Amino acid sequence: MLAAANPVRFLRTSDVQSIASVLAAGPDKLPDFTESADWDAWIRERDAVIRGRIDHGIEDSLSELILFGTSFPAPPKLAAAADAVNAAGDLTANARARQDAFIHAIDQLDSERFRIVLEFLRRQRVSEEELPAFLSGIVRRFALEEAGLKKKQARADVGVSPETSLLINYAIEETLRALKTSHALPAHIQRIAVIGPGLDLAGDPDVNDFCPPQSLQSFAVLEAVLRLGAATPAEVQITAVDFNPLVVSHLRNSVVKAQAGRGYVLQLPRMAGWNAAVVSYWQHFGETIGTPAAPLSAPSGIELRAIAVKPQITSRITVDDLNVVTQTLDTVPGQGFDLIVATNLFAYYTRVEQTLALSSMARMLGSGGILISNGISSAVKLQEFDNLGVHHIPYSDSDSGDDLVTYKRR
């Protein structure tokens, strides 16, 4: 039986008192509020602004689907996003033809991917008559940015992408293994928060939209702690935290299906260039949390595995709509999270936003709890954390990979 969900609330002035002096200087400094009502208005306004960046990230995913997708009948995909615009900055004939095919697919194809597209368009209040102009606008912006003909938005206004990767989950498991070896990992993990688990809509990398939309990270983290013997299936609980409505809706529907006895099938493509350790991770992924399933048909040259996650595993997941920069979970004293994973998240945020997010996570972690993340500015430090160091996890023989930083809650 899962514990009762922790209530979501906005950060209060009392939550950020310890970081107020740290954020009192700099171009992106935290405003000086004397009234709690002023703070509440400001934090809610910031919440709305950050949530608005989600739409920009989804637009980029839609643009990738239009230009490179194979999940709908269309003319040949483009070689690069820059090929979608001509010298004058207008869409090319091929890009327009693929856009027309995409619009036709929205009306004709009954798949989760296109139901998600429809959900987004309805939320944006895009009418049928406005749809061609809307899609042309987002594709043109995306192509011009990729071609370097239009300056990409600054980090404070950049779109937050929902796309994920198997690679970062390999890095998380290797980091957890290193923490266990050094005896820094809690011996018994029960409560885990995965912040920003994401949803593969376009199916990056290389727009693998032959796979259905899926959210991988919550399952990958759960398998990692089980495989390492740091948790037991009967006791571990995962809270997936995201403020992208598409991610929240997808995961909540998946949990409901699990409770009805239906599993969650993960499609796992093997990509070129991986080193032997990553290939081994891909080969064995899912052995702890699921059983082999029949993979979908994949394009030539791509090997695909499929794992049916056991319903009892999916049922260990709860989902919260929470923006960790502006909100937190009110955990019961002594019942904070043992582990928080927040990867491919901080690069989207300013110094102030990163510090607020870390402050929120510090509130959510129990004493001795571990935070694993990446992309955190070296200028961002919190007194509540001990920095346990950085783990470089290579993905290829050329040593390209991710650097994951680990913190321990004091």
pLDDT tens for the chain, 410 residues: list them: 455 567 999 999 888 887 876 676 666 677 777 778 889 999 999 999 999 889 988 999 999 999 999 899 999 999 999 999 999 999 999 999 999 999 999 989 999 999 999 999 999 999 999 999 999 999 999 999 988 765 555 445 555 667 778 999 999 999 999 999 999 999 999 999 999 999 988 866 566 788 889 999 999 999 999 999 999 999 999 999 999 999 999 999 988 887 777 778 999 999 889 999 999 999 999 999 999 999 998 888 889 999 999 988 998 999 999 999 999 999 888 889 999 999 999 988 998 999 999 999 999 999 999 999 999 988 888 889 999 999 999 999 999 999 999 999 99
Return the H-helix or E-strand segment holding 175. helix 166-181
Q: Is residue 39 part of a domain?
A: no
Claim to verify: residue 376 and residue 397 sit in the same structural domain: yes
Claim to verify: residue 136 and residue 181 sit in the same structural domain: no
Claim to verify: residue 60 and residue 141 sit in the same structural domain: yes
Q: Look at residue 334 in the predicted model and tell me its pLDDT.
A: 80
> Which pair of structure tokens corresponds to residue 291?
């059983």
Claim to verify: residue 134 and residue 242 sit in the same structural domain: no
Claim to verify: residue 172 and residue 143 sit in the same structural domain: no
Residues in CB range of 127: below 8 A, 6 or more apart:
none
Q: Look at residue 150 in the predicted model and tell me its pLDDT.
A: 59
- The C-alpha atoms of residue 405 and residue 223 are separated, in whole angstroms, by 20
Q: Is residue 189 part of a domain?
A: yes
Claim to verify: residue 248 and residue 368 sit in the same structural domain: yes
Question: Residue 269 phi/psi, 5° resolution?
Answer: -75, 145
**Residue 333 belongs to a domain with what CATH number?**
3.40.50.150
| For the chain, counts of helices (H) and of strands (E) | 11, 12
Last residue of a domain, one of 157, 183, 218: 157
Q: Look at residue 302 in the predicted model and tell me its pLDDT.
A: 86
CB 271 within 8 A of CB 395: no
Question: Residue 309 phi/psi, 5° resolution?
Answer: -70, 135
Rg (the chain; Cα; Å) = 22
- The C-alpha atoms of residue 333 and residue 17 are separated, in whole angstroms, by 19
Q: Look at residue 153 in the predicted model and tell me its pLDDT.
A: 52
Claim to verify: residue 268 and residue 314 sit in the same structural domain: yes
- The C-alpha atoms of residue 161 and residue 10 are separated, in whole angstroms, by 23
| Region class of 106: left (phi > 0), else alpha (psi between -120 and 50), else beta | alpha
Domain residue limits at 74: 51-157
Claim to verify: residue 192 and residue 172 sit in the same structural domain: yes
Last residue of a domain, one of 98, 123, 157: 157
Q: Look at residue 201 in the predicted model and tell me its pLDDT.
A: 86
Q: Look at residue 205 in the predicted model and tell me its pLDDT.
A: 55
CB 361 within 8 A of CB 371: yes
Closest CA to 3 of 233, 255, 226, 332: 332
Last residue of a domain, one of 125, 157, 189: 157
Q: Look at residue 29 in the predicted model and tell me its pLDDT.
A: 74
Q: Look at residue 155 in the predicted model and tell me its pLDDT.
A: 47
Q: Look at residue 154 in the predicted model and tell me its pLDDT.
A: 47
Point out which residues pair with 321 in neighbouring strands: 242
Query: Which pTM was predicted?
Result: 0.91
Return the H-helix or E-strand segment holding 218. helix 217-227
Q: Is residue 37 part of a domain?
A: no
Q: Is residue 32 part of a domain?
A: no
Q: Look at residue 1 in the predicted model and tell me its pLDDT.
A: 45
Claim to verify: residue 210 and residue 141 sit in the same structural domain: no
Helix (H, G, I), strand (E, B) or coil at 134: helix
Q: Look at residue 27 in the predicted model and tell me its pLDDT.
A: 66
Claim to verify: residue 57 and residue 205 sit in the same structural domain: no
Q: Look at residue 163 in the predicted model and tell me its pLDDT.
A: 73
- The C-alpha atoms of residue 366 and residue 191 are separated, in whole angstroms, by 10
